[in-house]
Structure 1
Amino acid sequence: MADINEKWTNIVLTGFRATGKSTIGTLAAQRLGYTFLDTDVELARALNGSIADIVALHGWSYFRHAEAEFLCRLCSLSHHVIATGGGAIEHQLQWQMLRQTSFVAWLEADVATIQSRIASDPLSLSQRPALLPEKDSMETETMLLLRRRSPLYAAGSDIRLDATAKSPEELAAELCALYAKVLDGAANGKLQRGECAVRTEGEYEHDR
């Protein structure tokens, strides 16, 4: 495994929609003095419309192609906290490129929590189109997509945070503390990327 080094200058947040990536990312960026970037917001701006409008006009393939290209451009950034769309993890080639400069945190939530948050957020309902055929319920869609994506989230992340049990402020603080701890471990030659894959705060404490 490649050593974590000084090039690891970004934090990337991944996970399903409605897991708090944008909120927690904004708070973490403020704590670190980094710039926050939401890929869905930036893509909507670049493509001149909401994701729902873009998909309605051009289809999901068009949006996913634009998303993949945008992920490549993120590789040149530094000192950013980046919230990615829930499906960005499926661009495996681009994701591995992004990981070369980024500490990746997976915000995980169960189906019931995700459904509840989507249902209570009018913006999410209006701007995030269904990913599967209309005959599938929101619950079915969430379950099927989580089944497909969860192994990718796990393999493509360095830390997993439970996005259901704590407030955004607590999760942002935990994320920043873990990021600082990992960078400190890397600077002291104690840690390799493969050794920290998808661990939790409690597991990091065992390294101290």
Structure 2
Amino acid sequence: MQTHNLILTGFRATGKTSVGRIVATRLHWIFLDTDELARQRLGAPIAEVVARHGWPFFRAAESQLLQDLATMQQTVLATGGGAIEHLREWRELRRGALVVWLDADSDTIRRRLRHDPASGHQRPSLTGQPIADEIEHLLERRRPMYAAGSDLRLSTEGRSPEELAAEIVQTMHNL
């Protein structure tokens, strides 16, 4: 398989950005984070955009961003947790890319979100439900999508970003 990109997918707080930065450095590739790119394009944090315009507006902007990124080369892309739901765009984005699903159980995700001071403004509620219910509901819905839309699943539980990055780089070298 000829890979010219690496795409990291998974639920929020699974380490996509941390791992992605390390992999990009090791491969001497560009690193991009779709949440950061969306924030730059929209001129405000995601939570603010969602509060003003709603999730459908943000998801439409995210869809366009994914379409625009489909021609990237030698890029490590950390995607937002919901990017996998853009099925048509996802198919285009993953052509010639290795897609790695960084997975964690709901307790681990909840703990990471609780300890991340940036979660409130970077990761707005998706459903309006209490965080524990939201995580369970969304994981149940998205796990089949992550599985179908990925080439490799890595559990992030008990593993450092450096360990995960080393495994991903090794996998890429073995392709």
TM range (shorter): over 0.9
Residue number among 9, 18, 36 corresponding to 2:13 in the alignment? 18
CA distance in 2, matches of 1:11, 1:165: 23
The answer (yes or no) to whether the contact 1:75–1:101 under 8 Å persists in 2 is: no
SS in 1 for 2:118: helix
Say if 2:50 is the partner of 1:43. no
Q: CA deviation at 1:165?
A: 2.2
2:96 and 2:41 map into 1 onto residues whose CA distance is 23
Q: Distance in 2 between matches of 1:26 and 1:111?
A: 24
Q: What does residue 150 of structure 2 align with? A: 157
CA displacement 1:2-51 (0-9 Å, x = unmatched):
xx33xx20000000000000000000000000010000001101100000
Normalised TM-score (structure 2): 0.98
Distance in 2 (alpha carbons) for counterparts of 1:111 and 1:39: 23
The answer to whether residue 143 in structure 2 is matched with residue 143 in structure 1 is no
Deviation at 1:80, TM superposition (A): 0.4
Q: Indicate if the aligned counterparts of 2:45 and 2:121 stay in contact, CA closer than 8 A.
A: no
Contact 1:14 1:89 in 2 (8 A): yes
- Alpha-carbon displacement from aligned partner over 1:71-90 (angstroms, at most 9, x marks no partner): 01111110000000000000
- Unaligned ranges ≥5, structure 2: none
Matching residue of 1:80: 75
What SS does structure 1 have at the residue aligned with 2:150? coil
TM-score norm. by structure 1 comes to: 0.83
Following TM superposition, where does structure 1 have runs of at least 4 consecutive aligned residues deviating by more than 6 angstroms? none
Deviation at 1:127, TM superposition (A): 2.2
Distance 2:120 2:146 in 1: 23
Deviation at 1:128, TM superposition (A): 1.3
Deviation, structure 1 residue 102 = 1.2
| Contact 1:47-1:54 within 8 A present in 2 as well | yes
SS at match of 1:132: coil
Report the equivalent of 2:26: 31
**How much does 1:126 deviate?**
2.4
Secondary structure of residue in 1 paired with 2:39: helix
State which structure, 1 or 2, has the greater radius of gyration over its C-alpha atoms.
1
Distance in 2 (CA, whole Å) between partners of 1:126 and 1:70 is 20
Q: Percent identity?
A: 47
Count of aligned positions: 175
Cα deviation digits, residues 41-63 of structure 1 (max 9, x gap): 01101100000000001100000
CA drift at 1:166: 1.1
Task: Report if aligned partners of 1:36, 1:81 keep a CA contact under 8 Å in 2.
Answer: yes
CA contact (8 A) 1:39 1:83 kept: yes
